[in-house]
Amino acid sequence: MSSTQRSEGMNAFFDDYINSKTTLKQFVDQYDNALRRKNENELAADFSSFHTQIPCITFYGIERQFQAVYTNAKFKEVQEELRGLIYCCASMVRSKGGIFTYHVADQVQVMDGFRKSTKYVVEFNEEECEASCTCHLFAFKGILCIHAIRVMTLHDKEEVPAKYILDRWRKDLKRDYTLVQSSRDDLSYSPNAHRMNKLNKAFYEISSIASTSDEGCAKLMTQLSKLKLEWVEVQPVCDNHSTESLRVTKGPEKLKSPVAARSKGRPVSKRKQSSAEKAVNRLKARKTQRLSQNRSRLDRNVVADVGSLSLPEHDFPRASTAQSAMVQPFFQLLDDVNSYATPTPISDHGSFCNPS
């Protein structure tokens, strides 16, 4: 997964799942999640390519051919090349034995508002419908360049040979790795993978017997070639890119707690306090504790005084709910009076001071 072996895009893809501090267990889990996500994105892109169609921008049959077989993402790149037809001008230099040589002038955009005129040499074999250009775009990106397409249109070619349509960009490409059993798949919800697993077991038993001798191996290969021809003719139209592939797994999944991540910045800690600040905090705590004790003592005295009163029961009828609600402000008033009744000490200078 290094830059020397993979593209930078693949490295950026795995950066969303693993980093330099990832443990071995987390690496296995996250690697599995990354492959599952990539497979889901591929299935969604295939579904979009089969059920949505990008309109053509020209009337050439070559564009319609790419539209029918290429994925939407790759067909957009082909259309970007086709838009350059208005900047290309081809002129034939020589012709020899059905091979034509053209000079194609193209306007290449160098900077915003500035264009550079460049000439390319295209050799075209009309019999084989093969074209080679000095820009080497097909060898670099796998897309037929606009210079070769311009020459083909001059010879009224409506389709390109199959060699210019790469299987990697086809929308009907069958990915064999999706049929291989893995830890992230549930075969009970994948009919194609289940059938593939069953056939692999049967073929393994036959190949194990046939591989013991050269005659058995040659006989099995001959029979497999005949079977292949038969099954290619009766191959069903539907494939693994149907809606069945975009299934939603309903099997049980174990949800794990997220990994605790360290927050940025300095860790939370108690700030160091000066001696004066500590003394002030102690005085505040002492004052709060003393006020709480005085209030509790006064509340107990009031309750004891009220409980010591012996009043005839017939003089005080049972209070209703509304009357009980009116008595509550009376006890609150007693608390306020008791709090003001506490004597406040006087300092030596004759002024009031805080008891603490």
pLDDT digits (tens, 9 = 90+) for 222-267: 888 888 888 877 665 444 444 444 444 444 555 566 666 666 666 6
Contact 344, 354 (CB under 8 A): no
Residue 35 phi/psi, 5-degree rounding, is: -65, -40
Residue 75 belongs to a domain:
yes
DSSP 8-state secondary structure symbol assigned to residue 136 = -
Residue 336 belongs to a domain:
no
Token pair of 66 as six digits: 């790419």
The H or E element that residue 195 is part of is helix 191-210
Q: Are residues 123 and 154 in the same domain?
A: yes
Token pair of 64 as six digits: 């319609």
Q: Are residues 161 and 147 in the same domain?
A: yes
Residue 72 belongs to a domain:
yes
pLDDT for position 121: 94
> Alpha-carbon distance 256 to 218, whole Å?
52
pLDDT tens-digit readout, 34-68:
777 877 887 787 777 777 888 999 989 999 999 98
- Predicted confidence (pLDDT) at residue 130 exceeds the cutoff of 70: yes
Residue 163 belongs to a domain:
yes
Q: Are residues 110 and 150 in the same domain?
A: yes
> Alpha-carbon distance 308 to 300, whole Å?
12
> Alpha-carbon distance 95 to 149, whole Å?
18
- Cα of 312 vs its chain's centroid, Å: 81
Which residues are within 8 A (CB) of 50 and not within 5 positions of it... i.e. 6 or more apart?
A: 171, 241
Q: Are residues 65 and 161 in the same domain?
A: yes
Residue that terminates a domain, selected from 136, 169, 202: 169
Assign 189 to helix, strand or coil. Answer: helix
70 is in which domain, residue-wise?
61-169
pLDDT for position 84: 87
Is this structure's pTM higher than 0.75? no
- The b/e string for 112-145 (b: 16+ C-beta within 10 A; e otherwise) is eeeeeeeebebbbeeeeebbebebebbeeeebbb
Better-scored residue on pLDDT, 301 or 116: 116
Assign 273 to helix, strand or coil. Answer: coil
Number of domains in the chain: 3
Q: Are residues 109 and 187 in the same domain?
A: no
Residue that terminates a domain, selected from 246, 271, 294: 246
CB atoms within 10 A of CB 99: 14
pLDDT tens-digit readout, 179-210:
555 555 554 456 777 777 788 888 888 888 88
